[in-house]
Amino acid sequence: DHSDAELLVITGDLSDWGDRDDYVRLKSRLAALPMPTRVCIGNHDDRATFLDVFPECTDDAGFAQGTLDTSMGRCLFLDTWEPQTHAGHYCAARKTWLDRQLAGHDGPFLIFMHHNPIPTHLGPMDQIRLLDDQAFRGIIARHAGKVRHIFFGHCHLPLAGSTAGVPTTSLRGTNHAAIAVFSETSLLSRSNLPESYGVAFVGSDYVTVHMVEFGYDGPIEIEGSPDYTAWNRETMAR
């Protein structure tokens, strides 16, 4: 359904343990797709191993971050990875890089990252959020008029909100889904809800994001004409 996509982005956790073989396999599969692809790294990845296989994703400072110009605007791919932790970090060098990218171009920008830049108010998940998220939001606030949307992963939850006024969304994972359990204070959740990917339509004055639950294996009924005159009590009985 999506071979006409202008870009496919994976927002991190490309491997479960940061194994080189996983990255080699991923690169081969991405190369077979009909559309351009870009990837971010997440807490399950290993930056050095990833960049050994995807050297085109590195910048001069050795981070897995970069830019790509599209018809939708300039895409920024952020590196929020830190070794030996599941939490996200955004050091001074990366903050400076982002600030300069946003200041040095008229935009509009679409930002892709792994760790959540806003709190979920789920205790265990927020322990491993982007820990310096307030400073990150400060950078976004300075350039909010240029940033159309922020997309993130990490949480395996359908989430929508705003980052310093910029619309922000996430989805369930493509491998497994979480569920919001607000009473849990120690452990992360997992569920049998269907896995999903997102499809974003970016117009000149709007962004529409669909969550496509490809893991759903139940029936799908195609019914209901959009024509108001076609609706009646007999044909539309439920």
* pLDDT averaged over every residue in the chain: 96
Neighbours of 180 (CB within 10 A): 15
Alpha-carbon distance of 93 to 9, in angstroms, equals 24
Residue 119 lies in a domain: yes
Domain count, the chain: 1
Confirm whether 238 is domain-assigned: no
Determine, yes or no, domain membership for 102: yes
Mean pLDDT, residues 148-158 taken together: 98
Residues near 76 by beta carbon (within 8 Å), at least 6 away in sequence: 65, 66, 67, 98, 101, 102, 109, 110, 111, 112
Domain-embedded: residue 197: yes
Domain assignment present for residue 237? The answer is no
Q: Assign 221 a pLDDT band (cuts: 50, 70, 90).
A: confident
pLDDT band at residue 236 using 50, 70 and 90 as cut-offs: low
Instruction: Print the domain residue range for 29.
Output: 8-230
**Cα→Cα distances 179→6, 69, 86, 137, 195, Å:** 31, 35, 19, 26, 12
pTM for the structure as a whole: 0.95
Residue 235 inside a domain? The answer is no
Whether residue 38 is contained in a domain is answered as yes
Percent of the chain with pLDDT over 90: 92
Structure tokens at 78: 């952020």
- SS3 string, 58-73, reads CCCCCCCCEEEEECCE
- The per-residue pLDDT for range 123-148, each reduced to its tens digit, is 999 999 999 999 999 999 999 999 99
pLDDT of 238 reads 61
Residue 173 near residue 156, CB atoms below 8 Å: yes
User: What tokens appear for 23 in the block?
Assistant: 């990255």
Quote the CA–CA distance of 192 and 215 in Å, as a whole number.
9
Confidence of residue 231 (pLDDT cuts 50, 70, 90): confident
16 has a pLDDT exceeding 70: yes
pLDDT tens digits for range 72-96: 999 999 999 999 999 999 999 999 9
Q: What is the CATH number of the domain that holds 42?
A: 3.60.21.10
3-state secondary structure of 93: helix
Inform me whether the pLDDT recorded for 156 exceeds 90.
yes
Residue 171 is assigned to a structural domain of this protein = yes
Q: Is 81 exposed, middle or buried (0-12, 13-18, 19+ CB in 10 A)?
A: buried
pLDDT tens readout for residues 43-56: 999 999 999 999 99
pLDDT at 1: 84
